A and B are shown apart, each in its own frame.
Chain A
Amino acid sequence: MLATLGKRLLTVIPTLIGVIIVTFLLTRVLPGDPAVYFAGPAATPDSIAEIRKGLGLDKPLPEQFVRYVGDLAHGNFGNSLSTGRPVATEIASRLPASAELTLLGLFVSLVIAVPLGILAAVKQGSWIDHTCRVVATAGVSLPVFFTGLLLVYAFYYQLGWAPAPLGRLDAFASAPPQINGFYLIDSLVTGNFEVFRSALSQLILPVATLAIFSLAPIARMTRASMLAVLASEFVRTARASGLDTRTVIITYAFRNAMLPVVTTLGMVFSFLLGANVLVEKVFAWPGIGSYAVEALLQSDFAPVQGFVLTMAVLYVVLNLVIDILYGVIDPRVRLEG
């Protein structure tokens, strides 16, 4: 088990190298002068030359790469052009906001989608099944930013149940003392229920938006793989041995059906991290996505590069967790490695 884990950890290394090379190349093989991009639109030839030198862009490409990796190793993602602040600090301070949103969104959609998919498969052809199919097809067709706007219109403008889509807290609450940056947890730990309520009510709509978005692929996959497993020969054997429905569905079918669902989670995370950017823009959420979007529009490249790298590393780590989870469920992976 430990050896398998070690082996799996080793396979992350080439992936990480690939990710770093791509983010490096993104800035270097541009059809133009990267120094111009880094200098921004208001630069003079002198300042461009200075930036070129400062960035080491006059050196050969391999040397630049070594320097880039060295900077990364020291946690140096460069400085933002517009704010002048180090990108790494900025991203670190904004990351909890994005993480809280994304993870909560995924959690909510898992809690709804998995049981929905299972029920749809078990009661194939029933109204639950039809609901599941409609949700699955409609869900993947909904542009996430559009869902967000519809929710805002309905629950803020029309019904007035939700607060204005403007950030993590309403204007009267102040951020809880930072412990891990998740407002829900920080406020609970410090016993500040007022802030907890405020943070929660601000979270509901963006989390619902992300949940609706990721609901569809999970429900669809759960249903499909559950149907496949229910039709399998070992479930037939279990039935022919008279095992009760609960054992057949949970111990026999469900655990096997989860395997492809866990694999799909990787794809869902990929979509979620992307959708997160759009949702942050809609709800003026002060996460790393909105940071990147602001920088993008000002042609401020260092934050964008830092953002892409951070997201990729996060995603690699998430995939690693998913792989380990898969090994826990499936002995074939665990024992054969």
Chain B
Amino acid sequence: MLKAPTPEVDTGEALPLLDVRDLTVEFQTRRGTVQAVKHVNISLAKGETLGIVGESGSGKSVTSYAVMRILDRAGRIADGSVRFSNLDLRQIDESEMRDLRGREMSMIFQSPRLALNPIRKIGHQIEDVLLQHAQADAAAAADKAVEMLEQVRIARPRERYHAYPFELSGGMCQRVVIALALACRPQLLIADEPTTGLDVTTQKAVMDLVVELTRERGMSTILITHDLGLAAAYCDKVIVMEKGNVVETAKAETIFRNPMHPYTRKLMRATPRPGITLRELLPDEDALRAGAIGAATAKADAPLLKVEKLVKEYPRQGAASSLSRLFKSGPTPEGEVFRAVDGISFEIARGESVGLVGESGCGKSTTSMMLMRLIDKTSGTISFDGEDIGAIPAKDFATLPQRRRIQMVFQDPTDSLNPRFTAARAIADPLLRLSDISRHSLRGRVEELATQVGLPLDLLDRFPHQLSGGQKARVGIARAIALKPDLVVLDEPTAALDVSVQAVVLNLLQDLKDKLGMSYLFVSHDLNVVRLLCDRVIVMKSGQIVEQGLTARVMDAPQAEYTRDLLAAIPHPPI
């Protein structure tokens, strides 16, 4: 068993806790050896918090796996050294390494629910770690585990000790994972995208908790994230990675104010934040080329879309067994239904762009599906250009002429393209079904649309898997505007994209709106993005609208408590 390395007497110039030199990680793939991390240097002092920032494929996670030596089978450390408290982690054998993991250095992951054993009580999972590292004997382990749950602010810890992961929310699961990681009081915590997929208020709670607990224990932390704002808000030092290389290392305060490397500059610029315009997300030369944003604003005549007292109910799961449902008929009694959308009313004017924001489960997606006439409402009206389209059953709506006027851009560009259709075929699909365009003018129109969305024409004959995320997003947008709709619902259209691609797509959407005079309903969880694109914003919580109004007004002087919470939860980088 390895002795816990004792910290050196503080001489001011103490050895770094973690010292990574020249780290190179290789993966064996079918295309040969790929270097995922190239000659990376990291130095982390005791008690320091370091952010590693990069877009997907930058090698930021692989770096941390290499430090922990938990690379999967295909990967290996090809070169460099990793020293932890003066121990050479490349030299020690696996059993020594195992002793270090969890006791001296631990890790929390993204998707907390998946990170826990689904069929083991969370209390037992914490005990496993405590017992493994001899931090408690069998008798005391249970109490220690409950104590850990208490420390990560889980209410009724003694009860929750017996809970299984599926009985807890995502945020709670992440707290359990943190408890697991901190149970043995390690010196180093690596957090790999710990809040991705969590709501912004949960993200703040989790991050604050991590900071508090690690500070309390004098731990060093590495925060791996794609969100430059998050890293700058919570870290002392930030490392920016691109394609396996470290391009910049700087103090958190300086990286926003004075980014040195062009890539950092681009990344920083592309991060949506208060006080800038859409064009400022783009690199200078592109912003110049794009010109000024058009001045098209909402027209004051009758609203294009008017929603009144819209309700959507779902039968509550498990409330009635399938057997009793089989024998019973008639309306579902009260209490057995769940109101996903609970009597909301709002309007969208012609040419207006309205943001619909809220956290997961607030009913914003259900609302957009109803407006799109993909699902039926329970009650209320949806008037589109004076006609109550809510009264038309969703299954009949697909082939009606009104279908042309309301279109949608989906969240996941990969999922929303048929894998067997080329880009051209995907864009042509609505034209073939809902317009009387002739066969020979079809290709011309598809190319025109591709040009409009900035998709190179030579990509039109590719299949989705041969396109990048940004290119797929463009195909999805071209398809949505192909029929010149009046209203486009944008369902988190950039959530799956890297931030630099998001900047480009947001600008594209803005320009298309101005040019084609469409109205947008922009569904999003990201207030900073909504601020950039929308004239007005609607805030939803638990199926109801808590606040709506002009974007600037709602953002700068929120009336509702909940809106204030949401705004406060956005990480504020030190600028």
Q: Are both chains from one complex? A: yes
A158 touches B (CB below 8 Å): no
**Which of the residues A240, A243, A247, A337 comes within 8 Å of B107, measured between beta carbons?**
A240
Q: Mark A226-255, 1 if CB is under 8 A from B, else 0.
A: 000001111011111111100100011001
Task: Render B268-284 as a binary contact track against A, CB cut-off 8 A, 1 for contact.
Answer: 00000000000000000
Decide if A264 is an interface residue (CB 8 Å cutoff).
no
Known A-B contacts A242-B133, A251-B128, A331-B164; A234 and B99 likewise in contact (beta carbons under 8 Å): no
Contacts of B119 in A (CB 8 A): 255-256, 259, 329-332
> Which secondary structure characterizes the binding site on chain A?
helix
> Does B314 interact with chain A (Cβ within 8 Å)?
no
Cα A247 to Cα B167 with chains together (Å): 24
Q: A7 contacts which of B103, B109, B321 (Cβ < 8 Å)?
A: B321
B456 an interface residue at 8 Å Cβ cutoff? no
- Complex-state Cα separation, A237 to B112, whole angstroms: 10
Q: How far is the CB of A329 from chain B (nearest CB, A)?
A: 7
Establish whether residues B129 and A234, one from each chain, have CB atoms under 8 Å apart when the complex forms: no
Q: Are A237 and B132 in contact (CB under 8 A)?
A: no
Separation of A185 and B177 alpha carbons in the complex (Å): 50
Interface size on A, residues (CB 8 A): 30
A-contact bits for B45-78, CB 8 A (1 contact / 0 none): 0000000000000000000000010101100000
Residues of A within 8 Å of B167, CB to CB, are 335
Q: Select from chain B the residue with minimum beta-carbon distance to A240.
A: B107
Q: Which of B102, B119, B181 has the most CB of A within 10 A?
A: B119
A46 on the B face (CB < 8 A): no
Taking CB atoms, residues of chain A closer than 8 Å to B132 are: 241-244, 247
Of chain B, the residue at the smallest CB distance from A10 is B323
User: How many B residues are at the interface, by size bracket?
Assistant: 20 to 34
Are A240 and B70 neighbours in the complex by a CB distance under 8 Å? yes
Encoded as 1 (CB less than 8 Å from any A CB) or 0, chain B from 105 to 131 comes to 011010100111111100000001100
- B73 and A237: CB pair below 8 A? no
Q: How far is the CA of A102 from the CA of B203 in the complex (A)?
A: 55
Closest Cβ neighbor of A3 among chain B residues: B321
A241 & B164 in contact (Cβ 8 Å cutoff): no
Minimum distance in angstroms from A64 CB to a CB of chain B: 27
How far apart sit A231 and B70, CA to CA, in the bound complex (Å)? 11
In the complex, the answer to whether A233 meets B114 with C-beta atoms within 8 Å is yes
A298 within 8 A of B: no
Q: Report how far A232 CA is from B101 CA in the complex, Å.
A: 18
Interface residues of B in 367-423 (CB under 8 A from A): none
Residue B346 interfacial (CB < 8 Å): no
Query: What is the bound-complex CA distance between A152 and B120, given in angstroms?
Result: 47
- Kindly state whether residue B534 has any CB partner on chain A within 8 Å: no
**B166: interface (CB < 8 Å):** yes
B523 located at the interface, meaning its Cβ lies under 8 Å from any Cβ of chain A in the complex: no
Nearest CB on B from A335, distance (A): 7
Query: How far, in Å, is B323 (CB) from chain A's closest CB?
Result: 6
Provide the bound-state CA to CA distance between A329 and B164, in Å: 13
Q: Are B118 and A234 in contact (CB under 8 A)?
A: yes
Quick one: closest B residue to A245, CB to CB? Answer: B98
B129 touches A241 (CB 8 A): yes
Tell whether B180 is near chain A: CB-to-CB under 8 Å. yes
Annotate B214-243 by CB proximity to A: 1 below 8 A, 0 otherwise: 000000000000000000000000000000
- Which listed residue, A124, A239, A332, A337, touches B70 by the CB 8 Å rule? A239
Evaluate contact between A236 and B70: CB separation under 8 angstroms: yes
Chain B residues near A234 (CB-CB < 8 A): 114-118
Contact residues of B between 124 and 147, Cβ < 8 Å to A = 128-129, 132-133
> B66 → chain A, closest Cβ, in Å?
13
A241, A244, A252, A335: the one contacting B120 at CB < 8 Å is A252
**In the assembly, what is the distance between CA of A72 and CA of B139, in Å?**
57
Interface centre among B114, B115, B180, B321 (most CB of A within 10 A): B115
Question: Given the complex, which residues of A lie within 8 Å of B318, measured CB to CB?
Answer: 336-337
Q: Which residue of B lies closest to A256 (CB)?
A: B119
Knowing A239-B101, A242-B132 touch, does A252 contact B72 (C-beta < 8 A)?
no
In angstroms, how far is the closest chain B Cβ from the Cβ of A124? Answer: 7
Q: Which residues of A contact B (CB under 8 A)?
A: 7, 10-11, 124, 231-234, 236-244, 247, 251-252, 255-256, 259, 329-332, 335-337
Q: Can you list 14 residue pairs at the A/B interface with Cβ under 8 Å?
A: A7-B323, A232-B114, A237-B107, A240-B70, A240-B107, A242-B103, A251-B120, A256-B117, A329-B119, A330-B119, A331-B119, A331-B164, A335-B167, A336-B318
5 closest A-B pairs by CB: A242-B102, A242-B101, A241-B102, A233-B114, A240-B107
Given contacts A234-B116, A242-B101, 20 further A-B contacts (CB under 8 A): A7-B323, A234-B115, A237-B107, A239-B70, A240-B70, A240-B107, A241-B102, A241-B106, A242-B98, A242-B99, A242-B100, A242-B102, A242-B103, A243-B98, A247-B128, A251-B128, A252-B120, A332-B119, A332-B166, A336-B318
